[in-house]
Structure 1
Amino acid sequence: MVGQALAVTRQQDFGRRGEDLACRYLEGQGLVVLSRNWTCRDGELDVVAVQGDRLVVCEVKTRSGPVWGRPDEAVDQRKLSRLRRTALRWLAAHGVGWCPVRVDLISVTWPVDGEPELTHLRGA
């Protein structure tokens, strides 16, 4: 049981490192990060940012290698629909009227003994 809890904590830390990298990348691209790991009954938004008048919701997937496939392969149409619904809840919770929303996917491949590689897919 303790081993499982430790494995989950390591996975969460690994995912958080990928999200940290994604946020630094987005800020370097001129976006302003508004929220991280925002949750509601419909799901979780890893990163919510703004670019001009557009809300950008980013799903961040981090992998250490190809064992589980490419990070972007973990996001299907069902997941994208859930992200869009959750983005609408974020807008309502923050008192923001309608605005254009874009859902992006950031894939981070971070080998244990290497440098991370980040891929940003806009408008997933």
Structure 2
Amino acid sequence: MMGAGLVKAVYARWASLPHAPFRALVFMAVTAKDEDNPPCFWGGRESLALALGRMAPPPNDDDPEVIKERRAAFASVDRAVKELTKVKAIKVVEAAGHYRPAKYALNVLRDSTTLNVPVAPRSA
């Protein structure tokens, strides 16, 4: 099952988060698998931007306005992820790499107070 139980857990545990980080965490939870321990999200910045109500234009468009819009969408994602990391709702398990999104462990279950997940070393 994809994320239904995790979404309920987000509402129960993290409802006091600010709007954008909460939306991002709910999106991460709905796309993670309930049975994974810990549940993980690796959907990428484009999908998180969409979860925050922003469309990230294609990266191959050289129009300055498109570039500005894409940067703004990713800045909103970065702010939400930073807040979620700060409050320990998520932990980076694998940093993003060349054409590979970051992988985040979700700390949404009531009995989980810390994420004891090994962090993968950064690849060169």
TM range (shorter): 0.3 to 0.5
TM-score (norm 2): 0.35
Q: Which one has more relative contact order, counting CA pairs under 8 Å at least 6 apart?
A: 2
More strand as a share of residues:
1
TM-score (norm 1): 0.35
